[in-house]
Amino acid sequence: MTVRIVTDSTSDIALDLAEQLGITIVPIYINFGDKTYRDQVDMDADEFYHRLETGPVHPVTSAPSPGDFIRVFKKLAQEANEILSIHLSSKTSGTYNAALLAKEALSSERCRIEVVDSQFLTMGLGLIVIMAAKAASIGVTLQQLVGRVGEAILQTYGMGLFGTLKYLAKGGRIGKAASLLGSVLNVKPLITMRDGELHPVGLARTHGKGIDRLCEFVRSALPVRDLAIMHSTTPHDAQILAERISFFLPQIRPWMARLGPGLGTHCGPGTLVVALRKNIESASAAS
């Protein structure tokens, strides 16, 4: 039977694509004061970003509970003998640990479950999950999938251009990018993920210069196997970036996605992110 793939809502995989590929998405929680919403379920992005920018209460996020994962795993175990659950970096959320606890609680069940820390966020995670789902659909075994996911993690890179760091700072998820907090207010910080943590990579004096840096980031990573562009509230900028990248990477059609409420809580409006998976095989063949 096909291995079933599970991830969390911070992967920012479109719900229709997840359904098409057979990916089960476990939502994280968004808390506005005493009201709790499930990411991608109870509140759409437009409403969320409006409340984020204009509301009196800053939201906080919380991980799914082990019970949430137990319910999902038990349901999928009725359809398959093996489950691969891939999640955002354990250094930024308790989601991975919640999935591990659920796996341990179901250790006596017949269904084999593997849980993987992707060390990424948003479509960095999403690209890895999509790859795994496509491989599972053609019969790749769970053991083989775990190996392929491990390789994909090493081949995945991302960089984000932020309109501000205040939302990361408010949420306490700023990591090593805290060194940028004292920067001039009107510059745009650039941040990458490395070893599961956020790291600063520089500052852009304008938004346009920041888009230049994102293009340079992609060009420096060639050859590329897969690419995604995410935005919080700037679809026009995301399209401009995609068009510019197409000049030197015409064979790749990027996945386009909007940062959902789960990550939008910490990234804020005006964020633009590129995630890619390098084509290591092509690079080896060329050498």
What pLDDT is attached to residue 185? 56
- Structural domains of the chain, with CATH: 4-154 (3.40.50.10170), 155-286 (3.30.1180.10)
Q: What per-residue confidence (pLDDT) applies to 281? A: 65
Query: Per-residue pLDDT averaged across 25-44, rounded?
Result: 94
Q: Which of 92-101, 137-146, 199-208, 211-220 has the lowest mean pLDDT?
A: 199-208
* Cα(140)–Cα(148) distance, integer angstroms: 10
The arithmetic mean of pLDDT across residues 119-137, rounded, is 97
Average pLDDT, the chain: 90
Indicate whether 176 pLDDT > 70: no
Backbone angles phi, psi at 239, to 5 degrees: -70, -40
Q: Of 14-23, 162-171, 199-208, 221-230, which range is least confident? A: 162-171
Render pLDDT for 36-74 as a digit per residue (tens, 0 to 9).
999 989 988 899 999 999 999 999 999 999 999 999 999
Q: Please give the share of the chain, as a percent, with pLDDT higher than 90.
A: 77
Q: In the chain, which ranges are continuous DSSP H helix?
A: 15-21, 45-54, 66-77, 95-105, 122-137, 142-155, 166-171, 207-220, 235-248, 261-267, 280-286
Beta pairing partners, 199 = 192
242: Cβ contacts below 8 Å, ≥ 6 apart: 229, 254, 256
Collapse the DSSP code of 278 into the 3-class scheme (helix H, G, I; strand E, B; otherwise coil) and give the result.
strand
Rounded Cα–Cα distance for residues 63 and 26 (Å):
10
Q: Is the pLDDT of residue 204 over 50?
A: yes
Q: How confident is the model at residue 286 (pLDDT cuts 50, 70, 90)?
A: very low
What pLDDT is attached to residue 285? 36
Q: Position of tokens 């938004």?
A: 207
Q: Phi and psi dihedrals of 190, rounded to 5? A: -115, 130
Pick the more confident residue, 131 or 287.
131
